Amino acid sequence: MVTYACLAAALLAYLSWLLVRGPGQQSTLIDGWGVAAFEILASCLCLWRGLAGGRRRLMPLVLGGATLSWAVGDTILTVESLGGSPATPSLADVFYVGFYPLAYVGLALFVRREARGFIPATWLDGAIAGLGAAALAAAFAFKAVLASLGGDAAEVAINLAYPIGDVVLFALVVGGSAVMLGRFRPSWALVGLACAFNAVGDTFNLVNSSAGPSALGSFFDGIAWPTAILLISFSMWLDSGRAEPAAMPRAPDFILPSLGALASLVILCVGTQWQVGRVAVSLSAATLVTVGLRLALSVRQLRALTSERQRQALTDELTGLGNRRLLFRVLDAYFEDASAAPGGPRIAFLFVDLDRFKEVNDSFGHSAGDKLLRQLGPRLADTLRKSDVLVRLGGDELGVVLRDTDTSYASAVADRILAKLQEPFLIDHVSVRIGASIGIAFAPDDAQDSHSLLRTADLAMYRAKTGGSACFEVYHEETDEPANRLRLVDELRSAVEQGDLLLHYQPQVDVKTGDVVAVEALLRWSHPRLGMVPPLEFLPLAEEAGLMQPLTEWVLDHALQQCAAWRGDRPDLAVSVNVSATNLMDAGFADTVRALIARHRLAPSALILEITETTIIRDFARCKRVIALLRDIGVAVSIDDFGAGFTSLAYLASLAVNELKLDRTLISGLNDAPSGRDMAVVRGTIDLGHALGLRVVAEGIEDDASLAALARLGCDVGQGYFISRPVPAEDLSAWPGLSAATADAALRAS
Ligand code: C2E
Ligand code: MG
Ligand code: MG
């Protein structure tokens, strides 16, 4: 470092001397011997780096050799100039020109080290950037150079060698930078800078020799080469080995190749109007050909990537078999095809559920389970035809689609699969036995869409499984559908017992202020196999199975608990719970409600019970009694879905209810262009409700226009998707935003 500091100081001193002295005031001592000694010293330092440098020795040795060659050229020229003006070309030129091939090798070594491995796209990028740069340099430099060339053939040749050498050097630096993928290497930057100095020196030297020395010319001529040599030498000591690559190519990586392509495009365009050198045009054309290759490569890579993505999307990661998505793609294609019509080809779906897989997982661990699953594909492969599709549905369930099949073939395949799965599996030197149960369903016989086909095969599988020993069953509507109902009831019962249900809440807002005044609790059943089952599908089952009472108690308990939690911040919030006809038949219902309210330390006004109009009509006298009892406790009662049952409100007026909930069929008439009739019905119902002293709630508000219309008609409370969908309790934290939006709409209406 000290030596480099001294060399830099000497260079600065030389620079100042060049600035003060006049043109043509050459000093052999300083410009000749001094500069040559300086360059030899700097080159030796570079070589020393190579000799001392362990594994990374080749690059500094080659680059040191290059600069030393130049320095020797300078020395020879100094000796020659002692005896007057040296001849052109001279022996010195051989050493000067010798600099270039060595420098190229040095740069190539640098780039190869950084580029690690042969990535065709990267190298093509480098080639585009390099060729584009060369085209640009040729377009600008060559004309001037050629114009200033003169003398005999040898002189022209040697004078041409420098600009060509520089253009190639420039191309290598730019191309190399592109190959290095945006990694900034200070040592590479110094080498690049040195090459630029070298080109500057060459250019001014040529200008000097043709147009005569000028102050500026001799200044650059003098300072450029020693600076270039010092920079190259120093860069080798600065170099700290390979840089870590960027994980992904970043935008800057595309800049150099893009500029290269752009430059050659411009040169070719300009070339159609003005005279551009043939070298520049050829280089530009070569650049664009390379761009074409690069594009072709990119398209190929993109295609490969897309098909790989697609393959991954349809593959089960663990087993390498197809996944659910693939299954639905195959089945959907079949059903979409006209061939799904009766009389067309039949397909069979086999739902395969492994037996005792859970035990394997529990006793040997999940990784053993995974190993077993991975063996399934190879083992079952030869039980199927090429056209059959084997997928993993998830967990320990497999699915098989047999195309163009009949019952006997499907049964034969099921038998083969069962036999294969009963053979022991060897996992970590332990022999493990499992088995399977298989359900078979056919399309179009048993199902008209993919989901139903899966469901029917699943039902048959369930029968096979409950049947005991590993076997297969074919779906029969008469036996499987009733069994399915029983199975669902069974599952619902355990869901109720284990509390595997959940509540979503839908806010009800004051139409005038936008404040949330109550929330309706709506029941959800997240079924492990069927996903989210809507309440209107499972509530009849619950009624049938006599589960309504525990179910409503569960809902009341959870809704009141949640309401108590919310009431900390919103003391007036009420929760609205739906009750069914069965609940009202229960003599102890009012007591249960009272006890639950007390358990959660709530005021009775915190609860609203919704009873549908149709329930009330079914047993009017009994409902009237229960409603009166609830009224005594202080709990509000609401008539839900009012307007759906064609009952006169006057008839219901004798009930001790507090609230009227207009059915969403009435509200849906209020969207953008309501008919006078729809408006009249809603207005009349709201007015009558008010006349009877009832609070009027509108449900099913799906748009801004309906909310505005309801505000105009004097409705008190609104509920619907426009305000919020039913959501889990924790998602209801954005109350204020909700109020603002609603109030805004109401305000615009008034
Ligand atoms: P509901 O009491 O009339 O509840 C309103 C239903 O309308 C809910 O359907 C709700 O999601 C839906 N809804 C709300 N806003 C909109 C809207 O803007 N547009 C449309 N199209 N629909 C909207 P969900 O949750 O499927 O409940 C259906 C029915 O199931 C309820 O009708 C209620 O009668 C019954 N139900 C729900 N939870 C319970 C419960 O815990 N116990 C009892 N017995 N019945 C319940
Ligand atoms: Mg309701
Ligand atoms: Mg309703």
Average pLDDT over residues 32-53: 87
CA gap 513, 53 in Å, rounded: 80
Structure confidence at residue 251 (pLDDT)? 53
CA gap 665, 230 in Å, rounded: 88
Q: Is 414 within 8 Å of 440 (Cβ atoms)?
A: yes
Q: Which residues are in the CB-under-5-Å shell of ion ligand 2?
A: 578, 610, 640
Q: Is 74 within 8 Å of 225 (Cβ atoms)?
A: yes
Q: Using 50, 70 and 90 to split pLDDT, how confident is the model at 670?
A: confident
Q: Is 47 within 8 Å of 102 (Cβ atoms)?
A: no
pLDDT of residue 369 exceeding 60, the answer is yes
State the closest ligand 1 atom to the C-alpha of 548, by its place in the atom list counted from 1.
44
State the closest ligand 1 atom to the C-alpha of 701, by its place in the atom list counted from 1.
18
State the closest ligand 1 atom to the C-alpha of 523, by its place in the atom list counted from 1.
38
Q: Is 533 within 8 Å of 525 (Cβ atoms)?
A: yes
Smallest-distance ligand from the CA of 576: 2
State the closest ligand 1 atom to the C-alpha of 522, by its place in the atom list counted from 1.
38
Smallest-distance ligand from the CA of 505: 1
pLDDT of residue 340 exceeding 60, the answer is no
CA gap 358, 364 in Å, rounded: 10
Its CATH architecture, for the domain 324-479, is 2-Layer Sandwich (3.30)
Amino acid at 584: L
Q: Calculate how far, in angstroms, residue 98's C-alpha sits from the geometric centre of ligand 2.
A: 93
Instruction: Report the nearest-CA residue for atom 7 of ligand 1.
Output: 700
Average pLDDT over residues 13-36: 80
State the closest ligand 1 atom to the C-alpha of 721, by its place in the atom list counted from 1.
18
| pLDDT digit string, tens, across residues 690-708 | 999 999 999 999 998 999 9
Structure confidence at residue 741 (pLDDT)? 63
Pocket of ligand 1 (CB under 6 A): 506, 522-523, 534-536, 539, 555, 578-580, 610, 640-641, 664, 699-702, 720-721, 726
More confident of the two residues 283 and 184: 283
Q: Calculate how far, in angstroms, residue 457's C-alpha sits from the geometric centre of ligand 1.
A: 31
Task: Choose which residue among 496, 505, 639, 699 to substitute to test ligand 1 binding: the one with the highest number of ligand atoms within 8 A of its C-beta.
Answer: 699
Structure confidence at residue 534 (pLDDT)? 86
| pLDDT digit string, tens, across residues 292-307 | 998 999 899 999 999 9
- DSSP bridge pairs for 577: 521, 609
Q: Calculate how far, in angstroms, residue 700's C-alpha sits from the geometric centre of ligand 1.
A: 9
Q: State how far the alpha carbon of 604 is from the alpha carbons of 416, 552, 560, 573, 660, in Å.
A: 65, 17, 10, 12, 19
Q: Calculate how far, in angstroms, residue 698's C-alpha sits from the geometric centre of ligand 1.
A: 13
CATH topology of domain 502-749: TIM Barrel (3.20.20)
Length of the chain: 750
Most confident of the following: 247-251, 342-346, 611-615:
611-615
Lowest mean per-residue pLDDT among 372-386, 580-594, 648-662: 648-662
- Grouping H, G, I as helix, E, B as strand and the rest as coil, residue 699 is coil
Structure confidence at residue 182 (pLDDT)? 60
What average pLDDT does the chain have? Answer: 86
| pLDDT digit string, tens, across residues 308-336 | 999 999 999 999 999 999 999 999 999 98
Residue with tokens 């002293």: 693
Task: Choose which residue among 505, 538, 554, 578 to substitute to test ligand 1 binding: the one with the highest number of ligand atoms within 8 A of its C-beta.
Answer: 578
Q: Tokens representing 454?
A: 């899966």
Structure confidence at residue 641 (pLDDT)? 92
Instruction: Report the nearest-CA residue for atom 11 of ligand 1.
Output: 726
DSSP run (H or E) holding 473: strand 472-474
Residue with tokens 């509200």: 667
Q: Calculate how far, in angstroms, residue 576's C-alpha sits from the geometric centre of ligand 2.
A: 8
Average pLDDT over residues 473-486: 85
pLDDT of residue 495 exceeding 70, the answer is yes
Q: Tokens representing 76?
A: 């020879």
Q: Calculate how far, in angstroms, residue 663's C-alpha sits from the geometric centre of ligand 3.
A: 6
Cβ-Cβ contacts under 8 Å for 348 (sequence gap 6 or more):
401, 402, 405, 407, 409, 410, 440, 441, 442, 443
Average pLDDT over residues 174-181: 79
CA gap 94, 97 in Å, rounded: 5
Closest-CA residue to 444 (of 308, 517, 337): 337
Q: State how far the alpha carbon of 400 is from the alpha carbons of 240, 339, 376, 377, 424, in Å.
A: 59, 19, 13, 12, 21
pLDDT of residue 448 exceeding 70, the answer is yes
pLDDT of residue 256 exceeding 90, the answer is no
Q: Calculate how far, in angstroms, residue 66's C-alpha sits from the geometric centre of ligand 2.
A: 89
H helices present in 212-323, as ranges: 215-238, 251-273, 278-313
State the closest ligand 1 atom to the C-alpha of 610, by its place in the atom list counted from 1.
2
Q: Is 232 within 8 Å of 190 (Cβ atoms)?
A: yes
pLDDT of residue 146 exceeding 90, the answer is no
Task: Choose which residue among 502, 522, 526 to substitute to test ligand 1 binding: the one with the highest number of ligand atoms within 8 A of its C-beta.
Answer: 522
Instruction: Report the nearest-CA residue for atom 19 of ligand 1.
Output: 700
Amino acid at 730: E
DSSP secondary structure string for all residues of 408-451: HHHHHHHHHHHHHHHSPEEETTEEE--EEEEEEEEETTT-SSHH
Instruction: Report the nearest-CA residue for atom 9 of ligand 1.
Output: 522
Q: Using 50, 70 and 90 to split pLDDT, how confident is the model at 738?
A: low
Amino acid at 180: M
Most confident of the following: 19-33, 223-237, 239-253, 260-274:
223-237
So where are the chain's domains? 1-115+225-238, 118-179+246-312, 324-479, 502-749
State the closest ligand 1 atom to the C-alpha of 719, by its place in the atom list counted from 1.
15
- DSSP bridge pairs for 397: 353, 394
Closest-CA residue to 713 (of 692, 694, 693, 698): 698
Lowest mean per-residue pLDDT among 215-219, 323-327, 635-639: 215-219
Q: Tokens representing 433?
A: 């036995």
CB neighbours (10 Å) of residue 88?
Answer: 14
- DSSP bridge pairs for 696: 660
DSSP 255: H
pLDDT of residue 59 exceeding 70, the answer is yes
pLDDT of residue 490 exceeding 70, the answer is yes
pLDDT of residue 70 exceeding 70, the answer is yes
pLDDT of residue 250 exceeding 60, the answer is no
Structure confidence at residue 458 (pLDDT)? 92
Q: Using 50, 70 and 90 to split pLDDT, how confident is the model at 337?
A: confident
Structure confidence at residue 669 (pLDDT)? 84
Smallest-distance ligand from the CA of 662: 3
H helices present in 385-532, as ranges: 407-422, 450-466, 477-498
More confident of the two residues 489 and 644: 489
Q: Calculate how far, in angstroms, residue 716's C-alpha sits from the geometric centre of ligand 1.
A: 20
Please, what is the Cα angle at 712 between 709 and 718, to 5 degrees? 65
- Over its C-alpha atoms, the chain yields an Rg (Å, rounded) of 44
Instruction: Report the nearest-CA residue for atom 3 of ligand 1.
Output: 641
Structure confidence at residue 746 (pLDDT)? 61
- Grouping H, G, I as helix, E, B as strand and the rest as coil, residue 537 is helix
Q: State how far the alpha carbon of 419 is from the alpha carbons of 104, 176, 411, 732, in Å.
A: 69, 63, 12, 54
Q: Using 50, 70 and 90 to split pLDDT, how confident is the model at 20?
A: confident
Q: Calculate how far, in angstroms, residue 123's C-alpha sits from the geometric centre of ligand 3.
A: 68
Q: Calculate how far, in angstroms, residue 594's C-alpha sits from the geometric centre of ligand 3.
A: 24
Q: Calculate how far, in angstroms, residue 616's C-alpha sits from the geometric centre of ligand 1.
A: 18
Structure confidence at residue 695 (pLDDT)? 96
Smallest-distance ligand from the CA of 610: 2
Q: Is 71 within 8 Å of 40 (Cβ atoms)?
A: yes
Q: Calculate how far, in angstroms, residue 522's C-alpha sits from the geometric centre of ligand 1.
A: 6
Lowest mean per-residue pLDDT among 315-329, 462-476, 585-599: 462-476
Average pLDDT over residues 378-382: 92
Closest-CA residue to 442 (of 347, 332, 353): 347
Percent of the chain with pLDDT over 70: 90
Q: Is 402 within 8 Å of 409 (Cβ atoms)?
A: yes
Lowest mean per-residue pLDDT among 86-95, 330-339, 429-438, 535-544: 86-95
